[in-house]
Structure 1
Amino acid sequence: MSTAAPALEVSDLRITYPARAGRGPARAVDGANLTVGQGEIVALIGESGCGKSTLARALVGLIKPTSGEIRYQGKPLTYSARALKEYRRHAQLVLQDPGGALNPRQNVYDAVAEGPRLHGTTEELNSRVHTALSRAGLRPPERFLHRFPHEMSGGQQQRVVIAGALALDPSVIVADEPVASLDASVRGEILKLILELRDSLGLSALVVSHDLGLAWNIADRVAVMYLGRIVEVGTVEEVLLHPKHPYTKALLSVLPEAGRDQRPTVLTGEPPDPTRIPSGCRFHPRCPLWPELKGAERAAAGCDTRELPVLTADPAPAQAACHLAHGR
C-alpha cells in the first residue's frame, strides 16, 4: 500500500432525501467515513436499502451530499460542471445490469468510445477503444467491435461496460453489484478481471455488494453498512474471520463455508427504513443479542437509548459500532 493520500476519502458524509408521500426525510447515508487506498480494493457490503448504492453514486459525483466531504487524492470534490467532468475522467462507475447500461442501438465500438467522445479525448480513439477492450478481456477486440449487446452473453456485456470505463484511463473504479446479474459460471471471471486490472494498472476499486462471500475473493478490506452507516470495517481477515458486529455475524452465517458449524441467523423485524431510524443502536430492533439482555444488563448496555459514534475513516485497526461487540 502506498503512503500517498488515499485514492478516495469520505468524511462524515450525509445524504438525505426530502420527505414525500406522508413519510419523513430519508437519511440514506447518515454519517459515513471511509477510505479507499491507492491500489486497494474495498468491498462495501450490506442488505438492499442500507445506502450503499447511494454512497457509490456520491463517490462518482452523481449525487451531491447533504453534508460532509469526498476527497480524491487528497483534494475535495467540488460540484461545478467543469470540476465534475474532470473528476469523472478519474473515477468511473460500473453498474449492476450491463444490459440496461448498454444502449441496444450502439455497437461495441461506439459504446466504448462514448466516454472519450464526451470528454473530448478522441486522439487515437481507435487505439484507445482497442486497448480498453483488450484490458477488459475481449480479445482480439476486432471480433467484438461491430457486435450489438443482444449478440453477446451477459459476461461479455459486463466486460464491454468495464471497457467503457477503462477507455478514460481512470484511477478509481466504483463497481455497484458488478456480478449480481451474471450467471455463477462467469462471476468469478469478472472478479478475477477486477483483480487483474488492479495489479496491472494500479487501479483502486470500491466494490458494492450484498454478498460477503464476494469479499473473500476480491477485497483487501471490508466495510459493512447498515441503515446509512458503516457498522464494521477492517481487513478481510479481521471482518470475515473474526467479526464483532452481530449484523456481520448474521450475514456471514448464511455462507456455506463460514456458517457450516452454526445455524443461519434469521434477522427478525423490519428491514432497514431510512425514514425511521431507531434511537440508540440502529440495529438493536433486529439484533439477536438484544432479546437476551434482561433488567439491569439491558439498561447498562443502552442499545436502545445510547447513540453510537460514527466509525472513523482510519483503515486500521478493525472497528465495530456495537455496544456489545467487545463483551461477547
Structure 2
Amino acid sequence: MTATTTGTVTGPTAATAPALEVRDLHITYPPRAGRGPARAVDGVDLELGRGEILALIGESGCGKSTLARALTGLVKPTSGQVLCDGEPLRYTSAALKAHRRKVQFVLQDPGGALNPRQNVFDAVAEGPRLHRMRDGLEQRVHTALSKAGLRPPEQFLSRFPHEMSGGQQQRVVIAGALALEPSVIVADEPVASLDASVRGEILKLVLDLRRDLGLSSLVVSHDLGLAWNIADRVAVMYLGRIVEVGTVEEVLLAPRHPYTKALLSVVSAEGARGGRPQLLQGEPPDPTAVPEGCRFHPRCPLWAGLDAADRAEAGCDRRTLPVLPAQAPAGGQAACHLASVS
C-alpha cells in the first residue's frame, strides 16, 4: 500500500489485486418474531486469488450462502467491504450491474434457476441482452454452450428445461454465466441437487474453465469430498466466521480446528472402514444467539473433555478470538484457543 500526494491510501493495481476480496464483512438481519438480530456474517476477511478455486465449507445455516450472495452484490453488507480487482463495490444500480457481469452467481438448483418457458438459447442470451451485448449474440450463445460442455450447441438451442437432464440444466446455467465472459464464478452448492453420476462431470467442468479461461471460482458446499477434488484452498465457516483456512492439504489432511475435524471424521477413510465418526453435541448454529468467547465452544469435544481448572485456563467461554486474516500463513490457520493442543 502507498500514500498519494493527497494523503489517501492506494491499494494494489487491478493486475496484482485478488480477483475478489472481503474485508471485515458483517451482515446482520433485523430482529423478528421475538428474537434478536441475526449475525449471518460476523466479521470475515477472505481473498480469492486469480485463477484460484476456493471451497467454502460448513453446515447449513453457518452463513456460507449469505457470504456468497454478498460477493455477487445480491446482499448489501451491514459493514465492511467487498472488493473486485482491488476496487470497493459500490451499490448503485450501474455499479452493481457492472460487478455482476464480472462476478457471476451459479445457483444450487438448475431447475429453479431456469425459466420453464424459455428455451436454451433465450436462457443463455438473457444476460447479454440485459447488458446490451447484442452484437454477435448468436455466436456468443454458441460459444458459451460449447465451453459449458453442451456440444454441438445447435442440438440444444431449442430445448426447454424439462427436455434435459439435471446435469444438462446445470450446464445451461453455467453457460448463461459464461456468456457474459466473467472473471469470477461464485457457485452455491453447484452439484448438491445432481445425481452422483453427473457430479464429477460438473466438477471437472469447473476445473476445465479454470484451465482454459483462467476463471477464479468460489464454490460453496458442505461436501468435503468436493473440496478435495477441485479446490486449491479451503475456508471452513461456522456461525458467521471463518474458523480455519489453508491449502486443501493443510485443512483436509492436517486439520487444526475441532469443528473441521468433526466434519472430516464423517467422511474419513477410517470412518469408511467402520470407525466411529465424531458427532457434534448440542444444537445447530443460531446466528441470533452467538455465544461469548469461542462461538464453537458449546459444541466442542475438546472443551467438553476439559476439567474445571483447564477450562478456566483455556478461557474458551470468555476470550474472544480474532478474525482470521484474508490469506493464512504457510501451515494454515485456525481460530481456536485449543488448536495447539488438539
Q: TM-score, normalised by structure 1?
A: 0.98
1:58-115 per-position Cα deviation (integer Å, ceiling 9, x unaligned): 0000000000011101111110000010111100000000000000000000000000
Partner residue in 2 for 1:306: 319
- SS of match in other structure, 2:269: coil
- SS of match in other structure, 1:326: helix
Root mean square deviation of aligned Cα = 1.2
- SS of match in other structure, 1:278: coil
Partner residue in 2 for 1:323: 337
- Over 3 Å counting, the alpha-carbon distance change for 1:28 and 1:46 in structure 2 is same
Instruction: Work out which of the residue numbers 82, 99, 102 in structure 2 matches 1:87.
Output: 99
- Checking the alignment, whether the CA contact within 8 Å between 2:124 and 2:173 is kept in structure 1 is yes
Alignment partners' CA distance in 2, 1:25 and 1:161: 34
- Over 3 Å counting, the alpha-carbon distance change for 1:3 and 1:83 in structure 2 is closer
- Give the stretch that moved more between structures: 109-118 or 256-265: 256-265
- Checking the alignment, whether the CA contact within 8 Å between 1:35 and 1:315 is kept in structure 2 is no
Number of aligned residues: 327
- SS of match in other structure, 2:65: helix
Instruction: Work out which of the residue numbers 122, 125, 144 in structure 1 matches 2:134.
Output: 122
- Checking the alignment, whether the CA contact within 8 Å between 2:15 and 2:85 is kept in structure 1 is no
Structure 1 gap segments, 5+ residues each? none
Alignment partners' CA distance in 2, 1:284 and 1:258: 25
- Checking the alignment, whether the CA contact within 8 Å between 1:252 and 1:258 is kept in structure 2 is no
Alignment partners' CA distance in 2, 1:70 and 1:179: 26
- Checking the alignment, whether the CA contact within 8 Å between 1:252 and 1:259 is kept in structure 2 is no
Q: How far 1:3 moved relative to its partner?
A: 7.8
Q: Which runs of 4+ in 1 moved over 6 A?
A: none
- Over 3 Å counting, the alpha-carbon distance change for 1:321 and 1:24 in structure 2 is same
Q: How far 1:260 moved relative to its partner?
A: 4.4
Please state if 1:106 is matched with 2:110.
Answer: no
Q: How far 1:314 moved relative to its partner?
A: 1.8
Alignment partners' CA distance in 1, 2:21 and 2:228: 23
Please state if 1:96 is matched with 2:108.
Answer: yes
Alignment partners' CA distance in 2, 1:214 and 1:229: 21
1:16-55 per-position Cα deviation (integer Å, ceiling 9, x unaligned): 0000000000000000010000000000000000000000
Alignment partners' CA distance in 1, 2:300 and 2:267: 19
Partner residue in 2 for 1:23: 35
- Give the stretch that moved more between structures: 118-127 or 250-259: 250-259
Alignment partners' CA distance in 1, 2:154 and 2:268: 41
Identity %: 76
Please state if 1:59 is matched with 2:99.
Answer: no
Q: How far 1:257 moved relative to its partner?
A: 2.5
Structure 2 gap segments, 5+ residues each? 1-13
Partner residue in 1 for 2:291: 278
* Structure 1 counterpart of 2:341, one-letter code: G
Alignment partners' CA distance in 1, 2:216 and 2:277: 33
Please state if 1:5 is matched with 2:22.
Answer: no
Alignment partners' CA distance in 2, 1:258 and 1:178: 27
- Checking the alignment, whether the CA contact within 8 Å between 2:19 and 2:48 is kept in structure 1 is yes
- SS of match in other structure, 1:57: helix
- Checking the alignment, whether the CA contact within 8 Å between 1:281 and 1:322 is kept in structure 2 is yes
Alignment partners' CA distance in 2, 1:255 and 1:4: 37
